């Protein structure tokens, strides 16, 4: 019952934010924040080290007639069924320095509904929750010392059977 009330609260908040039509700035340390289905959503928090982390998440509606990958399976979609929206960009700054994020880390994530930031020992993790019903998924992008290190995406219905993990290595 408590979970149902939280979902209702988040849904109401998402509608209110959509109606406002402005970029949303949300305090996000371990708080689930609604993501606009189209346009920009901003999350910010102060890390335990005192640094400020800002994340700007942008989604755009997909046009199935012009989408180049007809047989492509995107997270949040299904076989021969594209999600309604896809992440078009994620921009992160940490202490006013841009954090590089490879396109491959987010470009196949569709219909993102909620996000949260979580402090970690040497950085932070960006959690993204998206999809609908059987296509729902959870994605975690882990950042350490100012760099993207891993991305893990799991299908919510079968998290141990359908998942992928990507490791990133960038020169320092």
Can you give the pLDDT at residue 153?
98
* Of 64 and 12, more confident: 64
pLDDT in tens, 146-156: 999 999 999 99
Whether pLDDT at 27 is above 90: no
Band of pLDDT at residue 163, cut at 50, 70 and 90 = very high
* Residues belonging to the chain: 172
- pTM value? 0.81
pLDDT in tens, 84-125: 999 999 999 998 999 999 999 999 999 999 999 998 888 999
Cα 158-40-50 angle, rounded to 5 deg = 85
How much is the mean pLDDT over the chain? 83
Whether pLDDT at 6 is above 60: no
* Of 49 and 127, more confident: 127
CB 115 within 8 A of CB 33: yes
CA atoms within 13 A on the CB side of 7: 6
Can you give the pLDDT at residue 30?
58
Domain ranges of the chain: 2-167
Can you give the pLDDT at residue 80?
80
Tell me the two tokens of residue 96.
């006013």
Can you give the pLDDT at residue 108?
95
* b/e 58-77 (16+ beta carbons within 10 angstroms → b): bbeebeeeeeeeeeeebbbb
Cα-to-chain-centroid distance, residue 1 = 26
């Amino acid at each position: 019952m408590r979970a149902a009330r939280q979902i209702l609260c988040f849904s109401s908040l998402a509608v209110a934010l959509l109606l406002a039509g402005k970029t949303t700035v949300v305090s996000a340390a371990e708080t689930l924040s609604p993501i606009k289905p189209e346009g920009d959503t901003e999350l910010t928090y102060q890390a335990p080290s005192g640094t400020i982390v800002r994340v700007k998440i942008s989604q755009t509606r997909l046009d199935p007639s012009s989408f180049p990958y007809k047989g492509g399976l995107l997270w949040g979609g299904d076989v021969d069924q594209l999600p309604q929206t896809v992440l078009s960009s994620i921009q992160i700054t940490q202490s006013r320095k841009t954090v590089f994020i490879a396109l491959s880390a987010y470009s196949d994530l569709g219909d993102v509904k909620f996000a949260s930031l979580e402090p970690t020992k040497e950085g932070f993790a960006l959690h993204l929750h998206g999809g609908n019903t059987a296509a729902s998924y959870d994605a975690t992008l882990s950042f350490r010392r100012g760099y993207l290190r891993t991305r893990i995406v799991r299908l919510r219905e079968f998290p141990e059977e359908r998942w992928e993990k990507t490791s990133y290595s960038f020169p320092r």
